[in-house]
Each structure stands twice: as structure tokens, then as C-alpha cells.
A and B are shown apart, each in its own frame.
Chain A
Amino acid sequence: MSFVQMKASEVIGKQLVYKCKSYAGVFTSLVVIQLLGALFSLLATSGSMRSTLGYDVRVQTYTVDMVIVFTIFWGFITALLLTTRAYREDDFAFVTNRNSSNISTIAFLTLVGLISSVTAALSFYLVRVVVFLIGAEGDAVISSASVDASLLLIIFYTFGSVILFSSMGYVAGVMVQWSKLFIFILPAVVIGGLILLYQPSDGAVMNAFFSFYYREANLLFYLLKTTATAAIFYSVAVLLSNRLEVKG
């Protein structure tokens, strides 16, 4: 019997295609969560009314922030889910090792992160159409000038956050697979840490932390910061899972 040599890159590529085909649930949950976000966007509106001489002006503001927040949260949960036993064993039904399994999952998460960011940004149009449909006759639907001009910006800002949070979910998931103790340790550390960070001088530390990412005006720098942080989290996850057993 002849032996087969397979390069790591080849296996990763095959695994990625395999994952795109078999993780159908990931896409279903994305659709559901974004529709839910869009629904919330329709409800959560701020209104104002002005009456001047002779006519009333009613202004209602809609925003798709909710869709984006939900998408980021979805990225976290999806990454966490993909580290669980059943998904890990799916990989090992065919050719793989831990590195190729990890890298292909990370590539998959990045890919669906991009897709979800695009659909999150496009949900703006969905909300706009629905607002138009449910509005009374004569209502004018005006989009804020910034949105149309910067759809790409929204996509990439969302993308940065999604991959950042997926990497967090992934490393958290791998830690839990490594030792079930982390189910208790991780929430304690994260929540405790948040409380501690908010303590001194009205959350100055926390604000500094957030503004490091979210006050970054330059898109390129923002993406650099988020992907670099994600890369750190992912590396930790890969190192940890290289010792994990399958089907133990």
C-alpha cells in the first residue's frame, strides 16, 4: 500500500471547505440573530415631537446598532460552540491534526465574521425598507448622511469587533475543554475584573481600555489592533489545544 503525503496547507484547505459545508447551523443562527436584531431596531426608537406654528413635526430615529451588537455576541457564542467536543470530533472523522483543525476553524470564523459583518451593515437597508412600509403615508424616511457614504466603514468596524470577540470565545472554549474548572474561573475573573476596573475614578481604566479600540479613528489602525489582539487569543488557544485529546 502506497503512503500518502499531505501538506498542512492542503489539509487546512480541505478542512475549511468541509467546515463551510457542514457547519450549516452557524449560518442559520446568524440569520435568526440578525433578524432579531433588526426587529429590536424597529422597536428601539427615540422620538421627538415639535409643534411650531401651523404644523407638527414628529421625528423618530432608528438605528441598527442592535444588529451589530447581536452579531458581535453571535461571533463570541459561535466560536465558543465550535470548540466543544462534538465539533472537534467532526474534524477527526477525516484527516487532520490539532493544528490544522484549529487553523481551519479560525479561518472559518474569520470568513463567517466577514460575511456576518456585511449582512449586519446591510441590515440598515432592511430596517429602512420596513420603516418605510410601516410608516404612515406621507412620512419621509431619511437616512443619516453618514451611513450611505460609509457602508464599507461599518462593515470593517463590525468585522474587527466580531473577530476580536470570536477569538475571546474561542480561547474561553478551549480553556473549558482543557479543564472544566474554567467554567467557574473564567466568569469570575472576567466579571470580577470588570468590577475592579470600574472602581478607580469612575472607570477611567476601563474607559482607557475601550478607547484603545473604539476611539480609534483610523480604520486601518483599528483593524490592526483588533486582529493583533485576536491573534494573541488564538495563539493561546492553539497552544492549549495541542495537548487536548480527542474521543477521550
Chain B
Amino acid sequence: MKAIHCKELTKQYRRKAALDGVDLSIDDNKIIGLIGRNGAGKTTLLKIISGMLRESSGHVEVFSKRPFNNLFVSANSIYIDDQMNFPPSLTLKELLKEGRRFYKNWDHDLALRLFEHFGFHEKESHKNLSKGKESTFNMIVGLCSRCPLTIFDEPTTGMDAAVRKDFHRALLKDYIAHPRTILLSTHYMNEMEDLFEEVVLLDHGKLRLHTTMDDLREYAIGLSGKVSSVQPWLEGRDVLDQQESGLDDVQVAVKHDYTDGEIQRMRLDGISVTSIQPTDACMFLTKQEGGGLDHVFRSNESE
């Protein structure tokens, strides 16, 4: 069964298209990473999937139902971001109790244990929490609701490294015990990559890539060596990034569709072949046009 199905999904804000014809299909019971630069449309996509925002055109289905204004989708999904609005008059403990009342799969024991583990106080108010603590509390709510579709939008904002690590482990443990579809957007891909089964990469409101994590690890390779020896291997290939260094040395990231034999021959040509980290691959794939940051500073100096 498909957990999420989008066809030609578009979201238009006044003039700008935040999402532009996204076709996406996600199977249930997987952990999916949603990756993209700032402003790529990750949050908009997640909010449409959770039924908060209405799609401008196209088609979106969550568990075969249109999410906007749908009670079934609301009862079976939860959207957690760093701007959760909880009533300020309720204490943290009371908020957890409300979670138990609303979500039928809620695991209150786990909630209380995590609450204890992360050092929250019963009488604290959500409003007075620090950024990282707030994210941690939201994460507890998201995890314990045990919704068939759990959406985390930048869940680790403000968390310190230790808490982030705890979060990843908690997520994985709970997911293994209770498999469900978890959609998670993050900028800390290198920390999360062991968690993800699939990755969805958005760029400027468009779907750039949807692949398994294993494929993404081998999506691109890095070649470095003399220009004269590297250049022939790039003919007709999809070059993602190219940087010249020294006089005639070049470093290239290129989409990996070489055969093992070709790789062997490259090595014999004196080219060093390296793997490209998924984080870097995603960065190259969503590279902005126009020469990058160096270009910005260069034109400044020439004036």
C-alpha cells in the first residue's frame, strides 16, 4: 500500500511556486529522508501531506485519502516541527496526557520514560523551554503518538550532539518495534544516513531525486588527476561538480555509471577514484547556477 502518493503536486504562493509539479510515491513502513536546500519546498510538501496546507493544483493522497481537512489522515498522522503551538496554560505533563487522549496508538509509558530521560520537569511550560529542549519535547510527542505516518520537519533544531544521537537511536528502536512510515526532513544528512531507507531530494520546488540510500551512496564518484587524463572519461557523462586545483589538476564529481573495467582503466591512467558521500552528492545535485560563493567575492574584488 502506498502511504503517500503525489501527482503533479503544485503549491503556489502569491507569485512564487513553492512546489512545482512534484510526482512522488512513498511505500508504507519506511523511514524516508527529505533533503533539500533552504527554500527547496520541503516544509511546504510536508504541510500539504499532513493536511495543514491546501495544494494549489495536482493531486495528493495519504493512505488513499486527500489530506486537506481529513479527519482520518489527521488521526493517523502527526506533523512535528520546531514551531509547535501548544496551549501555554498546560504543563508539559498535561500535554502528554492530551496526546494520550487524542492518539489511540499513544504509548504513555514510553512518553514518561523519555520525559524522564531527557530531564524534563512536570510543571514546566512548553513556552519557557529552550530551543533544543522544545525540539526534544516535540520529538517525544511525535514518537509516542505512534501514528502510521509520522512527519518530522527539522526535528533536531537546537538539539546538542548527544541529544541528537539519542533521538536517532530512539527513533530507530521504536521504528523497529513498531514499523510505520516516517518522513523526516533534515540538513544533518551525514548523521541520519544510517537511518534512512530512501531519500527524496527536492530542489527549487521540483523533485530532483527519489532513490534508496544504497543507490545514493553509489550515485556519484569523485575523480581527481591531470586534466588531460580525466577529461576523456567525462565525455557524455553527467558531471555534477568540477574544480580545478593547481596548474593542470582537476577534481570532478560525476554520476556513477562506469563499469568496473572502466574504473580499473582510470586507475591505470593515474586518476584517483573516490566515493562521494551522500551529503556531498545531494549538495552537488542541488548546486545553484552562477559560480558559487567564490564568484560573489571575486566580483567584489574586481570593482
Binding site for B on A (CB under 8 A): 1-6, 8, 11, 14, 17-18, 21-25, 86, 89-90, 92-100, 242-243, 245-248
Contacts and interface: CB of A to CB of B under 8 A. Distances in A.
Interface of B: 28-29, 47, 51-54, 63, 69-72, 74-76, 83-87, 89-90, 94, 98-99, 101-105, 146, 148, 178-181
Given A1-B148, A18-B102, A97-B69, 9 more contacts: A3-B63, A21-B89, A21-B94, A21-B98, A93-B84, A94-B103, A95-B102, A97-B70, A247-B52
A90 B94 CA distance: 14
A6, A11, A22, A95: which has the most chain B beta carbons within 10 Å? A95
Contact of A99 (B69, B76, B86, B146): B69
Nearest to A11: B71
A90 B70 contact: no
B71 A3 contact: no
Contacts of A93: 84-86
28 contacts: A1-B105, A1-B146, A1-B148, A1-B178, A3-B63, A3-B148, A4-B76, A4-B103, A5-B72, A5-B75, A6-B71, A6-B75, A8-B71, A14-B101, A21-B98, A22-B87, A22-B98, A23-B87, A90-B86, A90-B87, A95-B74, A95-B102, A243-B54, A245-B52, A245-B53, A247-B47, A247-B53, A247-B83
Nearest to B95: A93
Contacts of A95: 71, 74-75, 102-103
A96 B74 contact: yes
A14 B89 CA distance: 17
Contacts of A6: 71-72, 75, 104
A99 B71 CA distance: 9
Nearest to B72: A5
A96 B71 CA distance: 6
A95 B103 CA distance: 7
A3 B90 contact: no
A98 B102 CA distance: 16
Nearest to B97: A21
A246 B81 CA distance: 13
A200 to B, nearest CB: 44
A95 B70 CA distance: 10
Nearest to B73: A97
Contacts, number: 90
A24 B75 contact: no
Contacts of B178: 1
Contacts of B53: 245-248
Contact of B85 (A1, A8, A89): A89
A118 B89 CA distance: 25
Contacts of A246: 52-53
A171 B269 CA distance: 75
B48 to A, nearest CB: 10
B90 A21 contact: yes
A180 to B, nearest CB: 14
A22 B87 CA distance: 6
**6 tightest Cβ-Cβ pairs between the two chains A and B:** A22-B87, A89-B85, A94-B102, A24-B89, A1-B148, A1-B180
Given A5-B72, A97-B69, A14 B104 contact: no
B85 A90 contact: yes
A21, A24, A86, A97: which has the most chain B beta carbons within 10 Å? A97
A86 B52 CA distance: 14
A98 B71 CA distance: 9
Contacts of B76: 3-4
A235 to B, nearest CB: 17
Nearest to A15: B102
Contacts of B69: 97-99, 242
A22 B89 contact: yes
A22 B102 CA distance: 14
Nearest to A22: B87
Given A1-B146, A3-B148, A247-B83, A97 B90 contact: no
Contacts of B74: 95-97
B242 to A, nearest CB: 40
